[in-house]
Amino acid sequence: MPSSSRKRARRGWATARKYLPDLDVAAAGGWKETTSLKRAYQQADEDTMLEVVMGAGKLRERQA
């Protein structure tokens, strides 16, 4: 598999798992740390952005 195809596949794999804990995704995907995973491989997508905007949940009042 050419390098660009491999990177594209890893990017898709990592993006599909961005809702999971970073450390687990990095370990399962072979990344030694989470910085490159998050910076280069996990990307924003329309479905997740819509979920953030529409279903972020309700804020709770701060308890004194």
How do the pLDDT tens digits run along the chain, 64 residues long?
Answer: 668 898 899 999 998 998 899 999 999 999 999 999 999 898 888 988 888 888 766 655 666 6
User: How many beta carbons lie within 10 A of that of residue 34, not counting itself?
Assistant: 15
Residue with tokens 């997508």: 45
Rg of the chain over Cα atoms, rounded to whole angstroms, equals 15
Query: Helix or strand or coil: residue 2?
Result: coil
Distance CA 28, CA 14 (A): 10
**Segments making up each domain of the chain, as ranges:** 3-54
Query: Do 38 and 14 form a contact (C-beta atoms < 8 A)?
Result: no
